Every structure is written in structure tokens, then in C-alpha cells.
Structure 1
Amino acid sequence: MKEQIIEIMSRVFELPVSDFPEDIKQKNIDNWDSLRHLNLIIELEEAFDKSFEPEEIAEMTSLDKIISYIK
């Protein structure tokens, strides 16, 4: 699951997987803005057949938090 999420993030943020920091967080990714955040959520919802609440979306600002909401 983690690898699949990172692949999605790579597409959305237009970064090679190798360029992601070890601790993936919104503050560590320069082009993680509000529009790309929404695109990320849409991609995650489609890939994992889930629907997230607005409060969850606002909190999904790191790889660890994203994984916890998908589980």
C-alpha cells in the first residue's frame, strides 16, 4: 500500500519517487499546494475505493496520516 501511495504522490506532485524525502510531509514537498492536495485526494479515493470526509482531507498532510486514513 505504501508504495502505491508514493507512486500516486509521484504523479500528482510531478516528482520522481527517488526525490521524495524519507519522511514525506506537506512541508517537505515544495509543490504540495492546495490544488495538488485535492488532486492527491481524488487519486487516492479512486485507487483505494474510499471517500474521505473534509476533516480527514485537511489532516492528510503526511504519508503516515494518509496511510492511517486509508486503513
Structure 2
Amino acid sequence: MNTSIEELVAGILEVPLSTITDTTGPTNLKAWSSMKHIRLIVALQETYHVTLAKREIQRLTSVGAVKKALSEKGVAFN
């Protein structure tokens, strides 16, 4: 995997990579709109070849939560 979670999120949200941390989420980043959240979910599923259930999607409230959800699906991070 050449693209990090942070790079993927920054690209979808159209913000500088430097603004993305594990605590970044829709409550503290205006660019993380509901439409971009949907785009992010689709990109995560396509990039990491996983399927996220509705319950899992509802828990994606930050970059850290995204990493945790993907980790639970067997995705390894450096």
C-alpha cells in the first residue's frame, strides 16, 4: 500500500496532509462533510479491499477510529 490513511483522508477532504492527525474528524474539521464522509468510506473500501458494515461506518468519527476499524479487518499499518 503506497498511500497512507492520512494521505487518503487529506486527498478526499482536499486539505493539507499536515492537518490530518489521529484526532481529526468531522467535529473538528469543517472540510469533513457528510458527502466527503461517504466518499471516504468508498475510498477506504476500494483501497483496502474491505467491506464496512453500517455499524462500523457509524464508528468512523476520526482518523484514529478509521485506523482501528481497518486494523480489525486485518489491514496492517507501518
Q: Under TM normalisation by the shorter chain, which class is it?
A: 0.7 to 0.9
Q: Which stretches in structure 1 are left out of the alignment for 5+ residues?
A: none
Which residue of structure 1 lines up, in the alignment, with residue 63 of structure 2?
63
Q: Aligned residues, how many?
A: 70
Q: Which stretches in structure 2 are left out of the alignment for 5+ residues?
A: 72-78
User: Does the aligned pair in 2 maintain the 1:21–1:28 contact within 8 Å?
Assistant: no
SS at match of 2:27: helix
In 2, distance between residues paired with 1:56 and 1:47?
17
| Superimposed CA distance per residue, residues 10-35 of structure 1 (whole angstroms, 9 cap, x where no aligned partner) | 11110010233562122111121111
Q: RMSD across aligned C-alpha pairs, in angstroms?
A: 1.8
TM-score of the superposed pair, with normalisation by structure 1: 0.85
SS at match of 2:23: coil
Structure 1 outlier segments of 4+, above 4 Å: none
Which residue of structure 2 lines up, in the alignment, with residue 51 of structure 1?
51
Structure 1 vs Structure 2: percent identity of aligned residues? 26
Q: Where do 1:22-33 residues align within 5 Å?
A: 23-33=23-33
